[in-house]
Amino acid sequence: MSVAEISRPARGSNSTTQQTMLETAATTRLLESEGILDYSGHVSTRIPGREAFVIQIGSTSRAEVSPDSMLVVDYDGNVLEGDGQPPSELPIHLEILRARPDVQSVLHSHMELAIAFTMMEGVKLLPMRARASRWKSGIPIDPDPSHIKLPEQGRALARTLGPHHAVLMRAHGLCLVAESAQALFVDAVHFKENATAQMQALQAGAKPIPLTEAEIAQIEKMEMREWHIKKLWNYYVRKALDEEALPQAWRDELVPTKEMLKRDRTL
Ligand SMILES: [Zn+2]
């Protein structure tokens, strides 16, 4: 799904860049509101029609990111637009976006719950909840526990991610990848729900019972990913606007119209 399918149509490449900045800034703030980002972590999104992506200035608070604090960066890591330095872990985004042409948006987070699953012997994070069918192909763990600041570290991380939609980073964090910033946000919400469910089972002293392949196949028959993303985006954007975690001036650009929220099918 493209950015434009949820958002208002952009006019020209400058508007496309602005819209990508706005949606990436909103996604960052929503992730911070939901406890998935805090003082660190970041989101990058490709700019449709340009050989470049947007990412925030590294020092800007994740709760206050706006289009003014976003940078336009090319795939060699050069800052083309904006006044500031990208996050020091830029190689995460550069190398994943280079390696995965199917990916439009990348999240890097230091989510504690995800980190815990890189530090337990004999325990793997598995699809427990229905929405975790997204990660049915597996959630690999990258063995490098340091911050990813070198191109070769980023390339190694991208190799560990491979064709999957999530990668854990030992004692450090995780990355998720998706087809849009909105999809990335919704995936992150479900990733946290799923990790919470497995941790609750472990904390109860029980052996977790993950989804079986047959159950995942059944879940996927009912899947309406595009509509589901719009529904959750609508919920979280409206909630954040009401709670003033997002500026009111962004409302018209971010809230889906009634027409956008119509389901075209039930199955
Ligand atoms: Zn990090």
Residue 12 confidence (pLDDT): 55
Ligand 1 geometric centre to CA of 42 (Å): 9
Q: Give the pLDDT band (50/70/90) at residue 90.
A: very high
Residue 5 pLDDT class (50, 70, 90 cuts): very low
Q: Which residue has the tokens 């052996």?
A: 207
Position 206, amino acid: A
- Tell me how far the alpha carbon of residue 196 lies from the centroid of ligand 1, in angstroms: 21
Q: How much distance in Å is there from the Cα of 259 to the middle of ligand 1?
A: 39
The conformation of residue 71, written as its DSSP 8-state character, comes to: E
Question: Does pLDDT of 263 surpass 90?
Answer: no
Cα(147) to centroid of ligand 1, in Å? 5
From the CA of 148, how far away is ligand 1's center (Å)?
7
What pLDDT score was predicted for residue 13?
Answer: 64
In degrees rounded to 5, what are phi and psi of residue 58? -60, -30
pLDDT of 257 above 50? yes
Q: How far is the CA of 150 from the centre of ligand 1 (A)?
A: 12
Q: Distance (Å, rounded) from C-alpha 75 to C-alpha 60? A: 22
- pLDDT for 11 beyond 50: no
- Beta-strand runs (E) in the chain: 42-46, 52-56, 70-74, 79-81, 105-109, 141-142, 166-169, 173-178
> Buried b vs exposed e over 146-182: b needs ≥16 C-beta within 10 Å?
ebbeeeebbbbbbebbeebbbbbbeebbbbbbbbbbb
Q: How many CB atoms lie within 10 A of CB 258?
A: 6
Q: Residue 40 corresponds to which amino acid? A: S
How many Å lie between the centroid of ligand 1 and the Cα of residue 40?
7
Can you tell me the mean pLDDT for 249-264? Answer: 92
**Distance between Cα 247 and ligand 1 center (Å):** 27
Determine the distance separating the centroid of ligand 1 and the alpha carbon of 185, expressed in angstroms: 18
Specify the amino acid at residue 198. Q
How many angstroms is it from 55 CA to the middle of ligand 1? 14
User: Tell me: the pLDDT tens digits for 160-186?
Assistant: 999 999 999 999 999 999 999 999 999
The whole-number average pLDDT for the span 78-86 is 97
The Å distance, Cα 106 to ligand 1 centre, comes to 13
Per-chain mean pLDDT for the chain: 94
Confidence grade of residue 8 (pLDDT, cut at 50, 70, 90): very low
Residue 101, pLDDT > 70, answer yes
Judge whether 52 and 13 are in contact, CB under 8 Å.
Answer: no
Cα 214 to ligand 1 centre (Å): 35
CA distance 118 to 113: 10
pLDDT score recorded for residue 236: 98
Spacing, Cα 144 to ligand 1 middle (Å): 11
What percentage of residues in the chain have a pLDDT greater than 70? 95
Ligand 1 centroid–CA 9 distance in Å is 33
Question: Starting from the edge strand earliest in sequence, which strands make up the sheet with 166-169, in order?
Answer: 79-81, 70-74, 52-56, 42-46, 105-109, 173-178, 166-169, 141-142
- Contact residues for 71 (Cβ-Cβ < 8 A; gap 6+): 54, 55, 56, 57, 79, 81, 82, 84, 86
Q: How remote is the CA of residue 177 from the centroid of ligand 1, in Å? A: 15
Residue 93 has pLDDT above 90, yes or no: yes
d(CA 115, CA 133): 20
Distance in Å, CA 204 to ligand 1 centroid = 30
Reported as a single tens digit per residue, the pLDDT across 203-239 is: 999 999 999 999 999 999 988 999 999 999 999 999 9
One-letter amino acid identity for 185? F
